[in-house]
Amino acid sequence: MNSTIIEAPEASTCAPPMRDTDYLQTRDPVAAPELGDQVECWQGGEGVPPLFIERRSNALNDKDAFLAWVQAHRPALDALIIRHGGILLRGFPIDSADSFNQLMAIFPNYEPGYAGGMSPRKAVTGKILESTRLDERFKIILRSEMAYMKRYPPRIAVFSKITAPEGGETIMGSMREFMKRFPESLMKRLEGRKVHIVRNYAPAGSTRDAQSVDHPDKIGWDDAFYTDKREEVEARCAELGMEPIWNEDGSLTLREETDIFTVHPITGERIYRNNLHTIRNFDRDPKFSAVVAAVRAGQKYPSGHYLDTGEQFTDAEIDTVMGLYDQIELAWRWRDGDVAILDNLLCAHGRNPFSGPREVMVALLDR
């Protein structure tokens, strides 16, 4: 499943996404007088996230002036994130982890952080993390960040410090559009149900010095929880509503239960937020078949996402949900310095495979 760089899926009611060389011809201006006259706003079409916000000529080219502008316009930016699912700040003086951290300090931090996450990430500075060290050949499909946990960050910010020369786009999709297309028959089957989740981490030290990881279950539990002390892991699991199981080989299994649909706390919209459809994501990719087989063979409690009846999604149900994500998936060429701030329920995100140097950072935010 490959994202489309230059045109939207035919079935979508969204306008086509933007061509990198045709932004001035294809972009739709969006009036946002609440942001003042130092910026201009545009989008790729009705319902296409995110809203692009660019500075005009020489305005806000000083970092301190830009940070002061963001601080002064926080309420307006918050409202635009809700309205459009996310915003993308382009052309502003954010060029390092430190300057990204200064920008993120204006927004409320998601205090639980990334403890117990499924992607290998190291802290960079302040509240800033690596985007992921998952193998660059692997496509990270559209999803809500930490959809496999009860507690989740309401927002996520993405900073492209070094944009990959080939691929590596942070892909996005409107979950409002996704829910419009969600089949009524599947909705009825899922009403009132819960998701039971089993996840596994490798023994401590497994990925401490790894540059990349070819399967999430190979991440060491010390990397996932940012500690090598079991009692601290257990305390964090209790806080987050997860049951830890320590295995004889030193690995860790987590069990938890979540809802299938989450109600947006501001808009009241009901959004599909879970990973029932992703259980065969790695399994279906022939590049990783041997890796998957080896990982599963060593697990006492195999990783998986199950309905509360013990069932997993059927192949047909997986294909249906994955097909919906394919229909809403949008991608475009990012530029160095781009910063996106996304509502984690209203805008799904992922990553295309890539080659060459790529340095992307993230921050987990509250509202």
Residue 6's pLDDT is what?
25
pLDDT in tens, 7-56: 222 333 343 343 333 333 468 899 999 999 999 999 988 878 999 999 99
pLDDT in tens, 305-317: 999 998 999 999 9
Q: Which amino acid is at 260?
A: I
What's the pTM? 0.89
Residue 134's pLDDT is what?
85
CB 203, CB 259: distance < 8 Å: no
Residue 241, Cβ neighbours under 10 Å: how many? Answer: 12
Q: Which amino acid is at 234?
A: E
Locate 125 and state its tokens. 């500075």
* For range 248-254, the mean pLDDT: 96
Residue with tokens 């052309």: 91
Q: CB within 8 A of 189, min separation 6: which ones?
A: none
Residue 23's pLDDT is what?
35
Q: Where along the chain do its domains lie?
A: 20-172+335-365, 181-323
- What rounded mean pLDDT belongs to the chain? 89
Q: How far is CA 189 from CA 21, 183, 308, 311, in A?
A: 45, 10, 12, 12
Residue 126, Cβ neighbours under 10 Å: how many? Answer: 15
* For range 66-80, the mean pLDDT: 98
pLDDT band for position 297 (cuts 50, 70, 90): confident
CB 50, CB 347: distance < 8 Å: yes
CATH number of 20-172+335-365: 3.60.130.10
The DSSP letter of residue 350 is: E
Angle in degrees, CA 304, 251, 318, rounded to 5 = 10
pLDDT band for position 280 (cuts 50, 70, 90): low
pLDDT band for position 122 (cuts 50, 70, 90): confident
CATH number of 181-323: 3.60.130.10
- 181-323 and 20-172+335-365 share a CATH fold: yes
Locate 249 and state its tokens. 């080989």
